[in-house]
Structure 1
């Protein structure tokens, strides 16, 4: 039964991509149209590359979910402009994190005010995602992150969990948020079959300032990738399978961080489905 549940999760995937120069070409070449594509946003480059790639991929028939970090929005007029452009492109799903821009670009310092404002604007998007943190946030206490999900529950329709490499921690987090009556479905964040050297190269391409923040805030990620035997996403999924597939966990699918290793991620997913008999 758990194997069937894992197959279902692998069919309900989202691929997170960065709006780099070759991203559109890679998605078109390797990602089936039934796979949701999410597009990140950079504190260094701003929202424009995200909006541009989102519009182009939506034009190719993909269901695209742009990241709209609160701290990249200048003001209310900017939020209205962004929402209008996305709706015009046919986008009906957005992911709204607080974001890492420091200082913020304008009036919004966190996700909740943006979520409330979207509601006041008539809820232009049918689906709205917010962030969950199975492993501790670098600067926010664990209880505060769970409380934040509770505060956002009336304005959001799902949670995307940040990366977690420990199946025990992931399972305990799912239990804890449900005990706190956070009932939104969860898309569990999992790193794809990324190679450490390529991850370091991608972090460098993101931009010097942002790359420094990336490395500083996530040193454990690189230790995981450098561990003996390397990192294998199927090991994490196998060990966390019971927690991920338990009906009480409310896991809706997997959110795969591709780090723009898009072809490798899709090959891995297909190969694992074949091994699972699906």
Structure 2
């Protein structure tokens, strides 16, 4: 297999192993149902403007529609072990078995949890009621937390989690170096690479204002340079980014589970982009034969 063929196979594998992140609005239900493949994995953010209950409500509705749902349980938006137990029971009743645990909003007044780790420890004390638990990874420096602290936090959280979702970066080299460093620290959890799809600036601004910005969009709002790159025509191309990152992500030992697509509720546009890219790559594959993406070492298990 040539280098170009190997790159194509890595990209096919990435684009067929995807999760879609949405913000908890009623309108997004219809768009997800009309646009995404049956049974697709959809993660639902925790919006400080709407509260944790909005996340649970949308997650339950999506689960009832047959989607594989991953609600965000933002630690600082949950009052303590009692509420966590109620949330767990509610999600189990909806047959939701996966969660993602970020720290969440910075306002800890009246809240028992000050970090994601504390909530993760309580989930472990409850007997690990969810089959999959995701935590955040930061290829770029966090705007308010020193790199040493984010590294330590991942090390502390790894024993309670089953996967890592990387936050935004627009530099393929930064992503590759970060994954390499994570593996060098013997953190071997599968990584979903966080990737914004092709978003429209006006829609992104409107959604950010409407939702109170939300977990992922808050990060953009606090980092003007990143916002400019994602929303300015010619400033960011997800296909170009993936193409440049593919060789590194496909190396043995990287254990990349797939893509975590930040849709900012532009679900139809994101899915149209994904399917168009996949069709283009599969067309290239015909020129050199059919090699199954699952034969690659991209998405191995730990």
TM-score range, shorter chain: over 0.9
* Structure 1 runs, 4 residues or longer, greater than 6 Å off: 208-212
Please tell me whether the aligned partners of residues 46 and 215 of structure 2 are also in contact (alpha carbons under 8 angstroms).
no
Larger radius of gyration: 2
CA gap of 1:190–1:115, structure 2 versus 1, over 3 A, is same
CA distance in 2 between partners of 1:26 and 1:170 (Å): 31
CA distance in 1 between partners of 2:72 and 2:144 (Å): 21
Q: Which residue of 2 aligns with 1:189?
A: 194
Any idea what the Cα deviations from partners look like across 1:125-162, whole Å, max 9, x if unmatched? 01100000001101111122122111111100000001
TM-score by length of 2: 0.87
Please tell me whether the aligned partners of residues 43 and 101 of structure 1 are also in contact (alpha carbons under 8 angstroms).
no
Please tell me whether the aligned partners of residues 37 and 64 of structure 1 are also in contact (alpha carbons under 8 angstroms).
yes
Q: Which residue of 1 aligns with 2:159?
A: 154
Q: 1:37 aligns with which of 15, 38, 42?
A: 42
Q: Which residue of 2 aligns with 1:116?
A: 121
CA gap of 1:271–1:215, structure 2 versus 1, over 3 A, is closer
CA gap of 1:167–1:124, structure 2 versus 1, over 3 A, is same
Any idea what the Cα deviations from partners look like across 1:43-92, whole Å, max 9, x if unmatched? 12111111001001101111000000100111111000001100110011
Q: Which residue of 1 aligns with 2:139?
A: 134
CA gap of 1:15–1:228, structure 2 versus 1, over 3 A, is closer
Deviation at 1:26, TM superposition (A): 0.5
CA distance in 2 between partners of 1:155 and 1:211 (Å): 22
Q: 1:12 aligns with which of 13, 17, 32?
A: 17
Where does the alignment leave 5 or more consecutive residues of structure 1 unmatched?
A: none
Please tell me whether the aligned partners of residues 221 and 227 of structure 2 are also in contact (alpha carbons under 8 angstroms).
no
Give 3-state SS (helix, strand or coil) of 2:73's partner.
coil
Q: Which residue of 1 aligns with 2:101?
A: 96
Deviation at 1:33, TM superposition (A): 1.8
Q: 1:204 aligns with which of 193, 204, 209?
A: 209
CA gap of 1:144–1:211, structure 2 versus 1, over 3 A, is closer
Where does the alignment leave 5 or more consecutive residues of structure 2 unmatched?
A: 1-5, 284-302
Give 3-state SS (helix, strand or coil) of 1:197's partner.
helix
The count of corresponding residues between Structure 1 and Structure 2 is 278
Q: Which residue of 2 aligns with 1:170?
A: 175
Segment drifting more, 216-225 vs 59-68: 216-225
Please tell me whether the aligned partners of residues 204 and 211 of structure 1 are also in contact (alpha carbons under 8 angstroms).
no
Compute the RMSD of aligned alpha carbons: 1.9
CA gap of 1:188–1:201, structure 2 versus 1, over 3 A, is same
CA gap of 1:214–1:206, structure 2 versus 1, over 3 A, is farther
Q: 1:275 aligns with which of 280, 284, 295?
A: 280
CA distance in 2 between partners of 1:174 and 1:233 (Å): 19
Please tell me whether the aligned partners of residues 72 and 101 of structure 1 are also in contact (alpha carbons under 8 angstroms).
no
CA distance in 2 between partners of 1:274 and 1:27 (Å): 21
Q: 2:31 aligns with which of 22, 26, 36?
A: 26
Report matched runs for 1:80-91 at 5 Å. Answer: 80-91=85-96
Any idea what the Cα deviations from partners look like across 1:199-221, whole Å, max 9, x if unmatched? 11111111389999555422122
CA distance in 2 between partners of 1:272 and 1:209 (Å): 28
Please tell me whether the aligned partners of residues 63 and 94 of structure 2 are also in contact (alpha carbons under 8 angstroms).
yes
Q: Which residue of 2 aligns with 1:229?
A: 234
Q: Which residue of 1 aligns with 2:290?
A: none
CA gap of 1:226–1:117, structure 2 versus 1, over 3 A, is closer
CA gap of 1:37–1:164, structure 2 versus 1, over 3 A, is same
Deviation at 1:246, TM superposition (A): 1.6
